[in-house]
Amino acid sequence: MWTYDKFLEYPVKIKTPNPEMAKIIITQYGGPDGELGASLRYLSQRFSMITPQAIATCNDIGTEELAHLEMVGAMVRQLMKNATLEEIQKGGMGGYYADHGRGIYPVSASGVPFDASYIQSKGDPIVDLTENLAAEQKARATYEYLINMADDPDVIEPLKFLREREVVHYQRFGEALRIVQDYLKEPHLFIMH
Amino acid sequence: MKNEMNKMELLKQISAAKFMMEDLSLFLNTHPTDRETIVEYNYYVKEWRDLKENYEMNFGMLSDDSLSCYPWQWISEPWPWENEANFKFEKEES
Amino acid sequence: MKQTETKKNIPQNLAMSKCIPQETVIENVRLAAAYVPYQYICTLFTPFEALRRGTAFPELYSPYKGEDKKCRPYQLETSKKERI
């Protein structure tokens, strides 16, 4: 089960509203390669995962992705909260505003609501870990695209943090895959100290 | 004002200690027999606990296992996603 | 199939310059399987540095500068701009 610590994993302190940025950053909230998908994916896969190392990895990275979801939500909120309606319309967030005001709702950059078909949990550990490697690369690339389009350092810093976490997660899932592959290849040689 | 600065400074250290715990713990999940790293991890757990105790004595609840004074502090503002709740990294740091 | 020796894990009390924070050779590789090298710990960032950068491990730190908004992609290629 989960505990909640009342602070963000990395601080989000944005001074200047920017609905145009909010419109694209929200894709990491409810989009195909976003944090909601990531956390749901890993937290679903863990039930059928094998080897203690890989199970823990899915469990804990899934949990960390929830913290990232919170950060992305915070970014979109701070970018929208004090925006004028004019800024919102100019930034292309008029449609979003009509449905959600200045609130937070899981959609992609093009306004498509979150869909569980963004994730897979095949129940096969090799499939699931391979899926996770792809997911982390997709997330990393998305953060790079977002960083490319951002100008405000207050926005760029948290995005860079989140991008780096994807690199680290890729390494961890890669190691988990090695462990699972070795286990399935020769279970009788698998010894836990 | 000074109290506010101390609160943010403490929160900065708490975030940093928690982050070390987080990253080391992910490493240990795939390297469970790395003895030295377990020592390192435990060091940061103790750091985190001490800093957290300090924060909670002076500035309010931080987790769902924190003690509360009167009235119930958990609902106090700001919440973490608000601008005011977050600290700023100074340029010199790292 | 070529047999290769796995490089031994270097103990941390050796000089830091000799500490390689990863597997450099993987043995007994099979077809149709993916291999990510194991990471080994050498040094850690300080907590502030780690939080700032997004990882406690220097070997996993991958800085990203972003793309110049005004450059066309073919210009980036021809001017051999570093994409770090």
* A146 and B CB contact within 8 Å: no
Residue B33: list chain A partners with CB under 8 A: 193
* Whether residue C21 has a cis bond before it, omega within 30° of 0: no
Residue C1: pLDDT band with limits 50, 70, 90: very low
CB-based burial label for C16 (10 Å; 0-12, 13-18, 19+) = exposed
From first to last of its 193 residues, chain A has per-residue pLDDT tens of 999 999 999 999 999 999 999 999 999 999 999 999 999 999 999 999 999 999 999 999 999 999 999 999 999 999 999 999 999 999 999 999 999 999 999 999 999 999 999 999 999 999 999 999 999 999 999 999 999 999 999 999 999 999 999 999 999 999 999 999 999 985 444 445 4
Neighbours of B3 (CB within 10 A): 9
B26 and A172 within 8 Å at the Cβ level: the answer is yes
| Lowest mean per-residue pLDDT among B11-15, B77-81, B88-92, C9-13 | C9-13
Determine, yes or no, domain membership for B10: yes
Distance from CA of C40 to the nearest CA of B (A): 9
Determine, yes or no, domain membership for B90: no
Q: What is the domain range of residue B31? A: 2-84
Contact A28, A72 (CB under 8 A): yes
> Count of alpha carbons within 13 Å of A36, Cβ hemisphere only?
20
* A6 and B CB contact within 8 Å: yes
Domain A19-188 has CATH 1.20.1260.10: yes
* B9 and A CB contact within 8 Å: no
Q: Which residue is associated with the tokens 């350092």?
A: A153
C47 and B34 within 8 Å at the Cβ level: the answer is no
Q: How far apart are CA A159 and CA A144, in angstroms?
A: 8
Q: How far apart are CA A79 and CA A120, in angstroms?
A: 31
Structural domains of chain B, count: 1
Nearest CA-CA partner of A177 in A188, A169, A167, A165: A169
- Report whether pLDDT(C79) > 80: no
Determine, yes or no, domain membership for B68: yes
- Report whether pLDDT(B2) > 70: no
For residue A185, the model assigns a pLDDT of 83
Q: CB-CB: which of B15, B24, B94 is closest to C49?
A: B94
Neighbours of C67 (CB within 10 A): 16
Nearest CA-CA partner of B12 in C54, A67, A164, C48: C48
Regarding predicted confidence, which is higher, C28 or A96? A96
Distances (CA, A) of B22 to A26, A165, A175, B18: 25, 11, 17, 6
* Whether residue B78 has a cis bond before it, omega within 30° of 0: yes
pTM for the whole thing? 0.90
DSSP-assigned letters across all residues of B46-84: HHHHHHHHHHHHHH---BTT----SS--TTPSPPTTSGG
Contact A178, C34 (CB under 8 A): no
* Per-domain boundaries in chain A: 19-188
Chain B residue nearest residue C53, CA to CA: B94
Distance from CA of A5 to the nearest CA of C (A): 16
- Report whether pLDDT(B4) > 80: no
